[in-house]
């Protein structure tokens, strides 16, 4: 094997793979090829992702796809690159970072960027080896598709491939590559990078690229006439606010909300030590490396705002007026609570907003926290109860049945005020039956490490359609086993 990927042309995938990101110029990236890995095997493949990218799903059956998506081969027209960015990590300016183990292969027929993660060292690898291990790659693959299934904006994952090549972490593990896609992988940190260098020309090019490709409405914004960069900041604030509302409503903890992991498009990106809550604990810290609890579940919305503030500072030279930057950020403070309440109303089966909903929602969440109720099971059982009018299965979740008996009449009365029972159909499509709990991911990882990839496929199938019943798969929707709470997920990946 050579130490650099070879190039082939393919009938199936022939199209112009060149990425529009390259138009930004050489200050933004370095061209380089992925470093090959020996003896790659498929670990997981998403046909749905392939379809959405405009790639024939049958391509995923080919050896060519296996080689390309592991970084061993390039398709005609691909000009791979790693991009440079900076960022704040755990609240502290970290200086230059960049794609240390991600390499952009090019643009798919749908116009999305196709990126390999774990495909070898880049000029931005710093002390890292440029690799990713099988364990964390399976988690990223499954969670990307799970979030998409939940209707939450996210990067997608086309595949995960594994190789016997050893990778040193706390122990020796094996290498894997995730092929992931997004309309763009531009992060807050890309803007911070050029702002920190006082390179206003590059900063403006980057902002113009994002506006022209993804948010052209910023050029003609009624609230921001002639102020496209303030409009951009407001647009990113609103997208991020809606994303946080969605994360909080499904009990998702990201784990590493550093500004270099924040998408300028308001997507969930960079899946590391993430977790879906089992019992509802607002203070839960999913990242073992986060000793201060900076990214604890309930802090995520405020952290997102803190990160937006960093973005605002980076954009300030373009926006000009500090007051305008602050005004653009301000929208976060109205959009987040409104979006969160709307999500929770759906989960509760209520339709129109009514005065007092905020307090009702808070009281419900306080109750779940006090009683340490399983978050996903509570909402799904409540949906079933709304359909059957039998609330006993929900009541059974409470150690203190009186607490539930005190809550239920108010809940039903609120629905009655809209003229009936809670809307069970709305609830069943708002409250997933299946989420990627840590122990489910772990079981798939344990099997894959022993060479059996079937659990990755099974989980993918369930998580792609998390609101469906999937008869015969009840165990995947059950309470976590006792050992789940001892799973320790750190930044090591």
Using CB under 5 A, which of the segments 135-143, 262-270, 307-315, 326-334 binds Mg ion? 262-270
341 belongs to the binding site for ligand AMP (CB under 6 A): no
Count of residues interacting with Mg ion (CB under 5 A): 2
270 belongs to the binding site for Mg ion (CB under 5 A): yes
Q: What is the rounded CA–CA span in Å between residue 102 and residue 114?
A: 10
176 belongs to the binding site for ligand AMP (CB under 6 A): no
Neighbours of 93 (CB within 10 A): 12
How many Å from the N-terminal Cα to the C-terminal Cα in the chain?
Answer: 26
| Residues β-bridged to residue 130 | none
For ligand AMP, give the closer residue by CB, 97 or 177.
97
Q: Out of 3, 61, 76, 260, pick the active-site residue.
A: 260
For ligand AMP, give the closer residue by CB, 95 or 410.
95
187 belongs to the binding site for ligand AMP (CB under 6 A): no
Which pair of structure tokens corresponds to residue 255?
């784990």
Count of residues interacting with ligand AMP (CB under 6 A): 15
Q: Which helix (H) or strand (E) holds 176?
A: strand 172-182
On whether the CB atoms of residues 112 and 182 are closer than 8 A, the answer is yes
- Contact positions with ligand AMP (CB under 6 A) in 247-306: 256, 258, 261, 270, 272
98 belongs to the binding site for ligand AMP (CB under 6 A): yes
Ramachandran class of 280: left when φ > 0, alpha when ψ lies in -120 to 50, beta otherwise = beta
| Most distant CA atoms of the chain, gap in Å | 70
By a kind-dependent CB cut-off of 5 to 8 A, residue 130 interacts, out of Mg ion, ligand AMP, none, with ligand AMP
- Contact positions with ligand AMP (CB under 6 A) in 392-411: none
161 belongs to the binding site for Mg ion (CB under 5 A): no
For ligand AMP, give the closer residue by CB, 129 or 468.
129
374 belongs to the binding site for ligand AMP (CB under 6 A): no
Q: What is the rounded CA–CA span in Å between residue 15 and residue 76?
A: 8
With a CB cutoff of 8 Å and minimum separation 6, the contacts of 26 are none
Ramachandran class of 238: left when φ > 0, alpha when ψ lies in -120 to 50, beta otherwise = alpha
130 belongs to the binding site for ligand AMP (CB under 6 A): yes
Q: Considering only residues 161, 163, 240, 261, which one is a binding residue for Mg ion as defined by CB under 5 A? A: 261
For Mg ion, give the closer residue by CB, 188 or 379.
188
137 belongs to the binding site for Mg ion (CB under 5 A): no
- Is 260 a residue of the active site? yes
Q: Please tell me the number of Cα atoms within 13 Å of 153 on its side-chain side.
A: 17
Q: What is the rounded CA–CA span in Å between residue 437 and residue 477?
A: 9
Q: Please tell me the number of Cα atoms within 13 Å of 172 on its side-chain side.
A: 3
Using CB under 6 A, which of the segments 2-10, 70-78, 93-101, 201-209 binds ligand AMP? 93-101
For ligand AMP, give the closer residue by CB, 270 or 374.
270
| Residues β-bridged to residue 74 | 7
47 belongs to the binding site for ligand AMP (CB under 6 A): no
Neighbours of 87 (CB within 10 A): 26
159 belongs to the binding site for Mg ion (CB under 5 A): no
For ligand AMP, give the closer residue by CB, 99 or 113.
99
128 belongs to the binding site for ligand AMP (CB under 6 A): yes
Q: Please tell me the number of Cα atoms within 13 Å of 463 on its side-chain side.
A: 25
Which residues are part of the catalytic machinery? Answer: 260
Q: Which residues are near ligand AMP by CB under 6 A?
A: 97-101, 125, 128-131, 256, 258, 261, 270, 272
Residues found near Mg ion in the complex (CB under 5 A): 261, 270
């Amino acid at each position: 094997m050579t130490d650099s990927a070879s190039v082939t042309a393919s009938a199936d995938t022939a199209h112009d793979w060149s990425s529009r990101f390259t138009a930004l110029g050489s200050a933004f990236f370095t061209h380089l090829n992925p470093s090959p890995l020996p003896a790659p095997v498929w670990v997981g493949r998403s046909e749905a992702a392939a379809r959405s990218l405009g790639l024939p799903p049958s391509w995923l059956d080919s050896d060519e796809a296996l080689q390309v998506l592991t970084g061993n081969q390039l398709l005609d027209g691909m000009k791979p690159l790693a991009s440079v960015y900076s960022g704040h990590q755990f609240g502290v300016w970290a200086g230059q970072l960049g794609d240390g183990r991600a390499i952009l292969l090019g643009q798919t027929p749908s116009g999305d960027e196709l990126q390999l993660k774990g495909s070898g060292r880049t000029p931005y690898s710093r002390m890292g080896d440029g690799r990713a291990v099988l364990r964390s790659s399976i988690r990223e693959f499954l969670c990307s598709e799970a979030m998409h299934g939940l209707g939450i904006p996210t990067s997608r994952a086309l595949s995960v491939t594994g190789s016997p090549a050893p990778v040193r972490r706390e122990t020796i593990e094996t290498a894997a590559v995730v092929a992931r896609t997004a309309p763009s992988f531009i992060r807050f940190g890309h803007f911070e990078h050029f702002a920190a260098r006082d390179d206003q020309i590059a900063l403006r090019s980057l902002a113009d690229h994002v506006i022209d490709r993804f948010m052209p409405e910023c050029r003609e914004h009624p609230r921001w006439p002639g102020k496209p960069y303030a409009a951009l900041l407001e647009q990113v604030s609103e997208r991020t606010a809606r994303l946080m509302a969605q994360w909080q409503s499904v009990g998702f903890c990201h784990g590493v909300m550093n500004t270099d992991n924040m998408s300028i498009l308001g997507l969930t990106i960079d899946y590391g030590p993430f977790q879906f809550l089992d019992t509802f604990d607002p203070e839960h810290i999913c990242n073992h490396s986060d000793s201060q609890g900076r990214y604890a579940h309930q802090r995520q919305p405020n952290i997102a705002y803190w990160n937006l503030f960093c973005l605002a500072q980076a954009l300030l030279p373009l926006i000009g007026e500090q007051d305008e930057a602050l005004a653009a950020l301000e929208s976060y403070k109205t959009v987040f609570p409104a979006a969160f309440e709307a999500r929770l109303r759906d989960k509760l089966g209520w339709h129109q907003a009514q005065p007092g909903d905020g307090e009702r929602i808070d009281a419900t969440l306080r109750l779940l926290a006090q009683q340490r109720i399983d978050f996903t099971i509570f909402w799904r059982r409540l949906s079933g109860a709304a359909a059957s009018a039998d609330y006993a299965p929900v009541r059974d979740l409470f150690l203190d049945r009186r607490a539930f008996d005190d809550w239920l009449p108010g809940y039903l009365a609120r629905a009655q005020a809209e003229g009936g029972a809670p809307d069970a159909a709305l609830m069943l499509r708002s409250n997933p039956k299946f989420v990627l709990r840590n122990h489910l991911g772990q079981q798939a990882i344990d099997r894959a490490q022993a060479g059996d990839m079937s659990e990755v496929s099974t989980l993918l199938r369930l998580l792609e359609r998390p609101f469906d019943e999937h008869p015969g798969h009840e165990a995947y929707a059950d309470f976590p086993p006792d050992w789940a709470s001892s799973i320790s997920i750190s930044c090591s990946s």
